[in-house]
Structures are given as structure tokens and as C-alpha cells.
Amino acid sequence: MTTNSNAHRVARRAGLLLAAAWPCWLLLLFGCLAAADLLPAGYPRALAAAPIVLFVPGALTLGALPVRHRIEGAFFGCLAVALSLCLAVFASLALYALHILITANSTYTCLLVLCAPLAAVAQLRLLRRARTPRDAAGRAPSGRPGAVRRAGYTLAALGFGAALLGTGTYVYQHAPRPATVGYTWIAWSGPQVTAVIPVGSSGTALPFQISHQEATADVFRLTAAWAGASGAQHSMATPVMLRIGPDKTMNGKLAIPAPPGGCTYRITVTLTQVGPAHPQSWSVNADVRQRAQAQHGCGS
């Protein structure tokens, strides 16, 4: 009998401690979420992290508002999930406005920063409520009808949610956009090159296209060379310097003379950045041979 009484007393004290400091415990739980990275990626990590992420931020928000003690049970859980989703969207918008890459870790850090002051406010409200005298029905001696107070709390919660979403929308619409990730490439623009190209006695021309879909103009060097069986490179034309503006596409043609004898050789067109310490380069190549001749390698 004594053992049961002691167990009941310990459980009651634990319950009182949990109820008296639940904002701090929730913040601690959210902070421990970083340990979820130790779990295997996939379902185990998602099952451990999702309930915390979907409940804690919203619960702390409700605790910080003057409406917590009027919302209980399943209704509290539903509102907590809804507010957690709103805060996650707000965190993503804040990261976007600050030009920070939106990842799981950066979003979690932003939510943790938001949860810390919310937990502090919720804990202060909880302590203040515990010190406020109550009547037999558990009401504070404010003299205001309960229905009016509940309506005020509901309007305050709705106003807070609307202000949160409105602020996020304003930031999204007016914040400077990050620079668009661009690209540059060079490619043959004629028929697809899938085999050795036969070249007549008068030669031929291979059309190519350069696309520079970047936010700024750049200077490039365009070169063309051929290589025989030995692999040695021989220039086919004088290098050309090109200044290509932002979001520009230019077309060109490379004149291919008739290959000497009956040999087959590889031609390569290369586009190289000019200026950067570590320039990028892009190239396309094709194999050509004299028409009506057997294919075989060239000497150097």
C-alpha cells in the first residue's frame, strides 16, 4: 500500500513539474531534434522528426498568446499543427529574403530561433497565471464575461496568423530576388552527329550554336583544332575572341576542308572563358573522313 502511494505521489509531482514548465520542456525537445541526423535517412528519421516539427512550434505559439488556457484537447493539437505549418512557411520566406539556401537544416535553425522567444513568453505567461488569484470556477477576477474574453482571444489568434502570413507575403513580393542560376553551352546545331561525317572535295561546314544564359556578359575564346591517330592537336583556324551579352545565343559555322588522303580525323571546337582565375571551357567534337574512302586513322 505504501509503495502504491509513493508511486502515485512521484507521478503526481512529475505531472505538476511537466505542467508548470511545459514550454521549456517543448523547447528542449525541439532542440534535441538535431540528434535526428544520427538516425538512418528515410522513414526512421521522418517518423522521429515529423511529429515534433508539426507540433512544437505551434504549441509554443499558442502558449505565448493569451488564449492557451481556453483551448484544450484535440482542438489545441489541430491549432498547433496549423500554426506550425504557418511558421515553417514564414521561416522559408525569411531564409529566401536573407538569400540563405533553404534546406532542412537552415529551416530547422530558423524555427529554433523563433521557438526560443515564444517559449520564454509562454513560460512567463504560465508563471503569471499561476500567481493570479482565481475564484472557485478558476476564473481571474477581471469582471469580464467568459464569452467576451474567448471571442477576444480568438480574434487575437486570427489577427496574429493573418499578420504572420501577411508579413511573409510582403517580404516575398518586395525582397530582392536572388540571382538566377544560369548556364553556358556549345553544341552542333545541324543534324545530330552520330557517326563519322563524310566530306567531299569542296569541304563542308558544320553549324554550331553558343548559348550564354547568364545574368552578365562574358568574354570567351573560340578555337578549332583537329587531331589524327597520334592525338596531336593542330589548329584549324585562328582563335576568335567573343564578347557575349547576358541571355544571348549566337550561331556560327566551322569550315571543314577535305581530309588529306583517305584518313579520318577528329575536329574539336572549344569555347573558353577569358579572365577568371579558374576559367571554364566547353567543347564539341566530330569525326570526319574523305567521302568514298575507307575509314582509317591519320598520322600526326
CATH of the domain at 258: 2.60.40.3880
How much is the mean pLDDT over the chain?
Answer: 77
The model's pTM is 0.43
Please check whether residues 154 and 207 belong to one and the same domain: no
pLDDT for residue 4: 57
Inside any domain, residue 297 = no
pLDDT at residue 290 tops 70: yes
Is the dihedral angle over the CA atoms 180, 181, 184, 190 positive or is it negative?
A: negative
Please check whether residues 49 and 72 belong to one and the same domain: yes
Q: Where is the domain boundary, 154, 174, 194?
A: 174
Inside any domain, residue 72 = yes
Q: For 17-21, 192-196, 293-297, which range has the lowest pLDDT when averaged over its residues?
A: 293-297
Please check whether residues 7 and 127 belong to one and the same domain: yes
What average pLDDT score do residues 243-249 get? Answer: 91
pLDDT at residue 211 tops 90: yes
How far is residue 3's CA from residue 284's CA, in Å, rounded to a whole number? Answer: 83
Task: Write the CA distances from 142 to 93, 135, 266, integer angstroms.
Answer: 40, 11, 91
Please check whether residues 50 and 107 belong to one and the same domain: yes
What average pLDDT score do residues 78-104 get? Answer: 82
Please check whether residues 16 and 121 belong to one and the same domain: yes
Inside any domain, residue 295 = no
Please check whether residues 128 and 245 belong to one and the same domain: no
Please check whether residues 157 and 211 belong to one and the same domain: no
Q: For 110-124, 156-170, 176-190, which range has the lowest pLDDT when averaged over its residues?
A: 156-170
Please check whether residues 159 and 191 belong to one and the same domain: no
Element containing residue 219 per DSSP (H, E): strand 218-227
| Strand pairing report for 264-273 and 197-199 | unpaired
Nearest to 224 by CA among 269, 188, 255: 269
Please check whether residues 130 and 188 belong to one and the same domain: no
Q: Where is the domain boundary, 143, 174, 205?
A: 174
Please check whether residues 13 and 98 belong to one and the same domain: yes
Inside any domain, residue 154 = yes
Task: Write the CA distances from 119 to 57, 73, 112, 242, 296, integer angstroms.
Answer: 9, 20, 10, 59, 78
pLDDT range class, residue 187, cuts 50, 70, 90: very high
Q: How is the beta sheet containing 183-188 ordered, strand by strand?
A: 183-188, 204-213, 248-256
Q: Which residues contact 244 (CB under 8 A, 6 or more apart)?
A: 210, 212, 217, 218, 219, 220, 250
Q: Where is the domain boundary, 132, 155, 174?
A: 174
Element containing residue 243 per DSSP (H, E): strand 240-244
Inside any domain, residue 298 = no
Element containing residue 224 per DSSP (H, E): strand 218-227
**Counting Cβ atoms within 10 Å, is residue 241 exposed (0-12), middle (13-18) or buried (19+)?**
exposed
pLDDT for residue 250: 92
Please check whether residues 7 and 72 belong to one and the same domain: yes
pLDDT at residue 143 tops 50: no
How far is residue 101's CA from residue 276's CA, in Å, rounded to a whole number? Answer: 25
Could you give the number of structural domains in the chain? 2
Element containing residue 79 per DSSP (H, E): helix 73-97
Nearest to 158 by CA among 69, 93, 86: 86
Inside any domain, residue 299 = no
Inside any domain, residue 189 = yes
Inside any domain, residue 300 = no
Please check whether residues 159 and 234 belong to one and the same domain: no
pLDDT at residue 296 tops 60: no
pLDDT for residue 223: 94
Residue 237's domain comprises: 183-290
